[in-house]
Structure 1
Amino acid sequence: MTTQIAVRLPDELVRFLDQSVADGIVTSRAEMVSRAVEREMRHQAAVADAAILTTDGPRDDLDELVAWAATNAFLED
């Protein structure tokens, strides 16, 4: 299911959306906005997971994997 919403964006962002569509990077403005929101959702989940790991530390037999991820993972801003 999808829901249509109205969003006001600065002209610069709209130009970027339109150029992305024109360049064939995405098929529509909505696709680009969806990608951006999904990326932000993943980012927020990763930040929350990192906070839990920092506070509680590793809890199970995956300690080696957690240690590797903590030093090798890359989080987008």
Structure 2
Amino acid sequence: MSVQMTIRVDDDLAAFIDQAAKAGEGSRADVINRAIKREIRRRAAQRDAQIYASGADLDLETDAYAAWASRNASRVWSELD
């Protein structure tokens, strides 16, 4: 099921969406839906990383990664987009 929505976006975002649609990446709605789904996945991954980092045991090698991920989360998540 889908719901029709009317939204306003900045000019630069509209240009990006139109460019992607013209490049064959689907309709405007397809481009926007993928972006929203990507944001949902990014937020879920960020929540998971925070949960994982909060229970880190600093004596374990894998917890060193959790600490690194916690410190670098904003940079890591921006690279996923």
Q: Same fold (TM over 0.5)?
A: yes
Identical residues among aligned pairs (%): 36
Which residue is 2:9 aligned to?
9
Q: CA deviation at 1:57?
A: 3.2
Q: CA deviation at 1:40?
A: 0.5
Tell me, in whole angstroms, the C-alpha distance in 2 between the residues paired with 1:30 and 1:16.
13
In the alignment, structure 2 segments of 5+ residues that lack a partner are 69-75
Which residue is 1:38 aligned to?
37
In the alignment, structure 1 segments of 5+ residues that lack a partner are none
Q: How many equivalent pairs are there?
A: 69
Runs of 4+ in structure 1 deviating by more than 3 angstroms, as ranges, are: none
Which residue is 1:27 aligned to?
26
> Partner amino acid for 2:49?
A
CA RMSD of aligned residues (A): 2.5
The structure in which a higher percent of residues are helix is: 2
Are the aligned partners of 2:17 and 2:28 in contact in 1 as well (CA < 8 Å)? yes
TM-score, normalised via structure 2 length: 0.69
TM-score, normalised via structure 1 length: 0.72
